[in-house]
Structure 1
Amino acid sequence: MAFPINDATPVTWPGPVPKTADVVVIGGGVIGVCTALYLAEVGQRVVLLEKGRIAGEQSSRNWGWIRQQGRDPDELPIMVEANALWRDLAGRTNVDIGLTQGGVTYLAGSEDEMAKYAKWLRHAEAHDVDSRLLSTAEVADLVPGMSKTYVGALYTASDMRAEPWVAVPALAGVAARAGALIVENCAVRALDIQGGKVAGVVTEQGRIVTPEVVLAGGAWSALFLRRHGIALPQLSVRATVAATDPLPMIYPGGAADDRIAFRPRKDGGYSLAAGGFHELFVGPDAFRALPKYLTQLRKDPFGTRFLPAAPRGFPDAWGTRRTWDADGPSPFEAMRILNPAPNRTKVKKLTQGFAALFPDLGPVRIKTAWAGMIDTMPDVVPVVDRVAALPGLTVGTGMSGHGFGIGPGMGKVLAALVMGENPGHDLTRFRLSRFSDGTKMRIGPSV
């Protein structure tokens, strides 16, 4: 399969949509797919609707890391569960998703970074995660051939990687075999609300009667919710990834310093990305949400590059409609797959930086490059909650670049919320009301 998934990817599940369902899940990324899977497994008639292709957006464009390391303390127990779920699910797919336990290593260039990693270790210890600090010599042994000497590193041997453009469609296959009905190329235009609660959804293929809807729409979630009077201070940032041609194996896991992140792929190449760098297209939502993001901006004022305007059709583009008639085309049909162009200057720098870090690898040639829009929140943790103002609606969005790895865990949590069951985790940190009840923004560890 070509990567990432895009408009040229054939439709696997064309529909049609049914007239009724127990639950409708909006969004065919890893969160929506896993939610549909776990709902189907408990006997729910679940319909998963995707406006473009399964995993067409960030779920096939991410780094492919499945990491416990560096997680926000409130995410960590869900991620520990997700780590185990990935192993189970990989055995239930009918393809090799490239699941590999190669570990994750954060390379430290200073004692301050080591101190930050040491501080985070107490969270790992509380959940029996095998993270540990490495010395300079241990780093050189773990990742040989680097031209740079590091002070040390944070290392988690049990962390994994997989090929996202293979893995998420494969999980959709598991969900379909469990009984979920998946329909691609079918946008949900609006919720059908009667008596102040969810009564169904209006899709481009017709209305589906359902009492429960899960919104897992990624970068499109805030736009969808705004139409229904629900404010979500979610923004999306562009992140660029480059993929090299095959190279010798230097380290089987994911590694990153303050400039570059890399991990090997199943095809023998490496995926490269810029650690801590992303780009924000400034639009109406950026201005609306600015007060909520001030804490994050003060903490990391140079981590974001600001661009004047999003391309036409993007969720926060100046020309994107904020209101529309459910009986006519919506912005979700106007752009089936959010496919931003990669930052070519960044691709060049990544290539040069990787070649300089590993001078014995030989020529580093780029096979392809892509970008994705990461849906992020002011405190860099998601919203996973029932919407009190609109009974029947559950939201799982704003994964802030953490979604691929934690996807199975969050899918299980969302399924439990829909069923009215105990999700097994404290979700207080992820409630929607934290942005309106005066809660002080608490940024998770920048690890």
Structure 2
Amino acid sequence: MKADVLILGGGGAGCSAALHLAQRGARVILLERGLVGSQASGVNHGGVRQQGRHPAEIPLALRSRQMWSRMRDICGTDSEFEACGHLKLARNEAEEAELLRWNAKAAEYGLRPRMIGGNAIRTEVPAFSDRVVAGSLLEEDGAANPRLLAPALARVAREAGATILERHAVTGMARQGDDFALEANGETFIAPILLNTAGYWGGRVAATFGEPVPIESLNPNMLVTEPLPAICPHNLGVVGGDVYLRQISRGNVIFGGGRGESDASIPVSRPLPAPAFNAMARAIEILPVLRDAMVIRSWTGIDGGMPDALPVMGPSRTTPGLIHAFGFSGQGFMLGPAVGAVLAELVLDGRSDTSLDGLGIERFAGHAAPAEDPWKTRLE
């Protein structure tokens, strides 16, 4: 089966790319080993935040936040997006200084977070403990339901003409002349362009084409409580990121911290008790009202983590036609819509006005290649 563009991976970025490419007339085939949105894009906390981003990610975050405001027009649902504000908390003077440093950098990009001192922050949210000494509120940030985004993007991409094939695990990959050839479910898929949006497995794709990176499996340990009375209207984070939480409209508090475990070769993942208890303790430290809350479910998934916690995004340095967008290190849900739009521009226009400076794969040049071929078979 031939196409103009092959996309490997059906998370938010891959499905957004399929949609934007198909809307501009490109013939697109997306291959997903499971179901769209079943890994990192669908199992995260749901934060839609610009606050706290590394400067290299801020251009993507700015563009994606604009798209979140139009998400219902883009894919038929707002994915329960709410601009409830992202409030990042400091628990000591050093963390407060870190908030001030980021706020100064954010102003260079037109962002205007509001710094809130210790007394004022407990006036706004009386449930905070004395452990909270300050906070930075970016009111235009918010949260959404990660279960809804990728399936909605995939549905509209199909309507626009994209072929999206779930339960198609790629078992062979190679160059055939100027084309890429991917084997899945006994069929060969061919195109001159390959978008690598395969999350953790994106590292395997890069290694296959001579660009190994030090990617690790990252498994966010997530939990949710029973419905509770209203506690805080904002999506909450802390400097250092050891706990993050938000209360949804039904009253449940979704929170996370630490890491679960996984076997990415199957793939399967599971949360772990010790990180869960640690996350509970961290949450109670800042919101003592959660002490008696009942946790009703926990989960995790598989994402790709990079040493600098930044994604690999941009053209391959070894293989013409290969474009990477993987390794979002637990921070890619909010960025996914803009990542897909940028990928479509790189394919069809050869450029994008959204800066990718600092995200290229060349920053890992010289990393050792894996000892074995990462694919079970290799097409010749």
TM, length-normalised to structure 2: 0.89
Counterpart pick for 1:435 among 355, 364, 377: 364
CA distance in 2, matches of 1:381, 1:358: 30
Q: Which amino acid letter does the alignment assign opposite residue 138 of structure 1?
A: A
2:128 aligned with 1:139, yes or no?
no
Tell me the secondary structure at the aligned position of residue 64 of structure 2: helix
Residue 401 of structure 1 and its aligned partner are, at CA, apart by 1.6
Cα distance change on mapping 1:155 and 1:193 into 2, 3 Å: same
Tell me the secondary structure at the aligned position of residue 174 of structure 1: helix
2:8 aligned with 1:79, yes or no?
no
Residue 358 of structure 1 and its aligned partner are, at CA, apart by 3.6
Q: Which amino acid letter does the alignment assign opposite residue 143 of structure 2?
A: R
Q: 1:206-244: per-residue Cα shift (whole Å, max 9, x none)?
A: 012211110110011122333343312211222200011
Amino-acid identity (%) = 29
Cα distance change on mapping 1:75 and 1:95 into 2, 3 Å: closer
Residue 202 of structure 1 and its aligned partner are, at CA, apart by 1.9
Residue 359 of structure 1 and its aligned partner are, at CA, apart by 4.1
Counterpart pick for 1:409 among 334, 338, 354: 338
TM, length-normalised to structure 1: 0.76
Whether the 8 Å CA contact 2:317–2:361 is kept in 1: the answer is no
Cα distance change on mapping 1:163 and 1:26 into 2, 3 Å: same
CA distance in 2, matches of 1:34, 1:261: 26
Residue in 2 that maps onto 1:62:
44
Q: Which amino acid letter does the alignment assign opposite residue 212 of structure 2?
A: A
Cα distance change on mapping 1:114 and 1:362 into 2, 3 Å: closer
2:168 aligned with 1:186, yes or no?
yes
Residue 30 of structure 1 and its aligned partner are, at CA, apart by 1.0
Whether the 8 Å CA contact 1:263–1:272 is kept in 2: the answer is yes
CA distance in 1, matches of 2:167, 2:137: 41
Residue in 1 that maps onto 2:140:
158
Tell me the secondary structure at the aligned position of residue 429 of structure 1: coil
Q: Which amino acid letter does the alignment assign opposite residue 24 of structure 2?
A: V
CA distance in 2, matches of 1:428, 1:138: 38
Cα distance change on mapping 1:428 and 1:351 into 2, 3 Å: closer
How do 1:20-59 and structure 2 match up within 5 A?
20-59=2-41
Cα distance change on mapping 1:142 and 1:77 into 2, 3 Å: farther
CA distance in 1, matches of 2:361, 2:78: 37
Q: Which amino acid letter does the alignment assign opposite residue 155 of structure 1?
A: L
Residue in 1 that maps onto 2:245:
262
Residue in 1 that maps onto 2:355:
426
Aligned residues: 365
Cα distance change on mapping 1:435 and 1:93 into 2, 3 Å: closer
Cα distance change on mapping 1:341 and 1:127 into 2, 3 Å: same
Tell me the secondary structure at the aligned position of residue 390 of structure 1: coil
Residue in 1 that maps onto 2:377:
none
CA distance in 1, matches of 2:203, 2:287: 42
User: Where in structure 1 are there 5+ consecutive unaligned residues?
Assistant: 1-18, 282-309, 316-334, 439-447
Whether the 8 Å CA contact 1:351–1:366 is kept in 2: the answer is no
Residue 104 of structure 1 and its aligned partner are, at CA, apart by 0.8
Whether the 8 Å CA contact 1:98–1:266 is kept in 2: the answer is no
Tell me the secondary structure at the aligned position of residue 255 of structure 1: strand
CA distance in 2, matches of 1:152, 1:278: 27
Tell me the secondary structure at the aligned position of residue 404 of structure 1: coil
